[in-house]
Structure 1
Amino acid sequence: MQKLLKVYKLKRQLEIKDVNEEIMLWVLISSTVPNIEEKGVHIYKDPRLVELGYRIISPVSLNESQLIDIFGSNLSISNSEDGYKYLRYKLGVGEGADDLPPATSFPLEANCDYLHGVSFHKGCYIGQELTARVHHTGVVRKRIMPLKFTKEIKDSIEKDTIVNSSDNPKLNLGKLKGTVHNYGLGLMRIKEALDAKILKVGDYEAEVLKPSWWPIEAPREVTVKKEKN
C-alpha cells in the first residue's frame, strides 16, 4: 500500500509512513459492539459483510487481555490471521495481495460490486471505463468463490493450481488462490464450476459453493406481453 500511494503522490509534499510497528489490527465478531474510542483504540464495522464483524485498530502496547477489559469480558477478540482467513474463505471473500494479486485482478471478478467496494454512480478512478463496461454488459463469467474440500488440506497446494472437473480432467474451471484447513478460494468460471459438482484440485477433491450473500440475479431475458386494448 505504501509503495502504491507513493506512485500517485506526484508533487504533493506528503509523508507516507509505515505504521506496522505502531498499531495492531484485530477482528471482532459480535452482533453488539459498543462505540468506543478509548486509549487510542478505534473500532469500525466492516463495510463488506455483517459476518465479517468489526475491525479494531489499537496501539501495539495494548494486548488481548487489555482489549477485553475495554470491550467487556463476554467478547472474544483475536488477532489470529489463520482464524480470520478461515472465516473469509468460508464466506468466499478475497483480501490482500495473496488472494488478489496487484495489477492482475479485476474488481468485478473479486466481487467488489457485491461487497460495496466499487461505485457505478461516480468517478473517476483508474480502470473505471473497463469496470463500468463489464458491469453494464452484465457478463461476468469468472468470480472469486469458496471451495470446500472433502478433507483437510495436509500438504500445501501451489497457488494458481488449475481446478478441473472430476469427470473431465481437461476442463479448466478456474485457478486456486489459497487454502486454509478444508476451505479454499478460487477464481472460478461460475456456471461451469457449479455444473461440475465434484472438482479436482491437485490430489484433492472439492465442491464450489455459491455464497449466500451474492444477490439474486434477474433473468437475462424477460418477455413482455403487450395487452390488446
Structure 2
Amino acid sequence: MNISKNLKFLRLMRVCGRNMSDLSHPPNIAPAPQAGRRSCTLEQLKNRELIRVHGSEVVPFLQGLVTNDVTRLQHPEGPSSIYGLFLNKGGRVLYDTIIYRTNNPETYLLECDRDASSEFRRNLRMFRVRKQIDIDSVDDEYSPWVIFTKNGGDGELVHATHNLPELFVASDPRLPSLGTRVLAPTDISWAKLVKGFWQNNEVVATPATADNNYQLLRYKQGVGEGVQELPPGKCFPLEANADFLNGVSFNKGCYIGQELTARIHHSGVIRKRYMPIRLTAPLGSNHTVQSVAGANLGRVFGHAQNRGVALLRIEQVLNGQQELTVDGDRCYAERPEWWPRDVPSKRRVASIE
C-alpha cells in the first residue's frame, strides 16, 4: 500500500464528493454461511485512529519512546507492523499503539485510541525537540478495520485474495487470534471491502453484532486496549502482558520508562496481570474484584455482555481456591490460553531466591 502517495489524492476526492452515506455502512441483514464456505466478521474500528509520523529521523525518534524495537520495521524481511507501548518516566503505560510501516521509509502510521488522539500527538510533539518530524492525524484519509473469525485468527482468509492496492493488510502483531488489521481509505464502503477481498465468494463476511464483535473477542483473550482499559499511569507494561504480546524488546537501547521495565523483567516479580473475566450478572458501579472474605484482588477495566478484562493479582486468583466476586456477584477469572505455561509468580521467584 502506498499510503504516503495516496494522501493528497484521497483528500482531493473527499472534497470532490463521497459515496452516499448509506453505502458506508454494512447491510442490516448478514448473509448466512453456506456449506463449504468459511465465515468471518469484518468490522470498522471506530474507536481507533491513525497518526502519521514523518521525517528523516523518524526511526530514532520512535525508538527512544516506544517499548518495542522499531528498527525491525526497516528490514525487508521484517514485520509490517509491531505492537508497542508509550510509557511515562515512572515506567507506567500511557498509550498503546500498533505501528505500521509504509512504502515511504520516512513515514510510519501509529494506531491509537481515538479518545486519546490529541493527548497522544501532544506527547509525541513534546519529545521531538529539534528533530524534523511531522506529526498529524490521517483520520480523514484512512481508517482501521479488523477481520476475524468467531474463534479468532486465521489471517490466511485475506492475505491471498485481496486485490485492492489502496489497502494495507497485516496480521495483528499481538496474537493471531485477534485477526487481521486492514487500513482502508475512509470513504470506502463495507460492501466494496468484502468484494475486494473475496471476488469468488469463497468466504462469507458478516458485519459485527452485539454477540460477535472485536471488543468481545479481545475480552475473551484478556487483551486490554485504549485509555479506558489501560488507564494512563495505572499499570506497568508487563502487567498489561506486553512481554507476552510481542510488545516489548529487552535488547534495544534506552527509551522512556525502560529502566524500571527491565528491572521488573529481570526480577521476575510481576504480581498483577490483565486476564479475561467471566461475569454472572450485569456489572454495576463497583468494578473491584474481591474474594468472599472481602480482600481486593483487582479491578475490571472493560466489560460487555458477560465478558470483561481485569487487572488481577496472579497468585491469589490463579493459585488460590477462593471464590471471586464483583459488585456482590460471582465471577470467574480465566487463565489466557496464549500465556506461557510457566507464568512467573511471586511464590516461584521467592523459591528461586
Change (3 A) 1:107 1:119: same
Cα root mean square deviation, aligned: 2.3
Q: Deviations for 1:148-188, whole angstroms, at most 9, x for unmatched residues? A: 0124x2x5545xx32111x212x010111111110111110
Distance 2:139 2:208 in 1: 14
Q: Which amino acid aligns with 1:190?
A: I
Q: Following superposition of structure 1 onto structure 2, how do residues 1-229 of structure 1 map, counting pairs within 5 Å?
A: 1-29=120-148, 31=154, 32=156, 33-35=158-160, 36=162, 38-72=164-198, 73=201, 74-76=203-205, 78=207, 83-151=213-281, 153=282, 156-157=284-285, 161-165=287-291, 167-169=292-294, 171-194=295-318, 195-217=320-342, 220=349, 221=351
SS at match of 1:17: strand
Once the 2 structures are TM-superposed, how far is the Cα of residue 78 of structure 1 from its aligned partner? 4.6
Which runs of 5 or more residues in structure 1 are unaligned? 223-229
Which runs of 5 or more residues in structure 2 are unaligned? 1-119
Change (3 A) 1:80 1:44: farther
Once the 2 structures are TM-superposed, how far is the Cα of residue 208 of structure 1 from its aligned partner? 0.6
Distance 2:163 2:251 in 1: 33
TM-score of the aligned structures, taking structure 2 as reference length? 0.57
Deviating runs (4+, > 6 A) in structure 1?
Answer: 79-82
Change (3 A) 1:216 1:104: same
* Number of residue pairs the alignment of both structures matches: 216
Mapped contact 1:26–1:55 kept (Cα < 8 A)? yes
Q: Which amino acid aligns with 1:45?
A: S
Once the 2 structures are TM-superposed, how far is the Cα of residue 103 of structure 1 from its aligned partner? 2.6
TM-score of the aligned structures, taking structure 1 as reference length? 0.85
SS at match of 2:250: coil
Q: Which amino acid aligns with 2:323?
A: I
Q: Deviations for 1:19-63, whole angstroms, at most 9, x for unmatched residues? A: 222212111115222254724111011111110011000001111
* Structure richer in helix, relative to its length: 2
Q: Which amino acid aligns with 1:53?
A: G
Once the 2 structures are TM-superposed, how far is the Cα of residue 101 of structure 1 from its aligned partner? 1.4
Change (3 A) 1:190 1:58: same
Q: Which residue is equivalent to 1:227?
A: none
Q: Deviations for 1:95-147, whole angstroms, at most 9, x for unmatched residues? A: 11111112332100000000000011222111111011111111101001111
Distance 1:77 1:14 in 2: 40
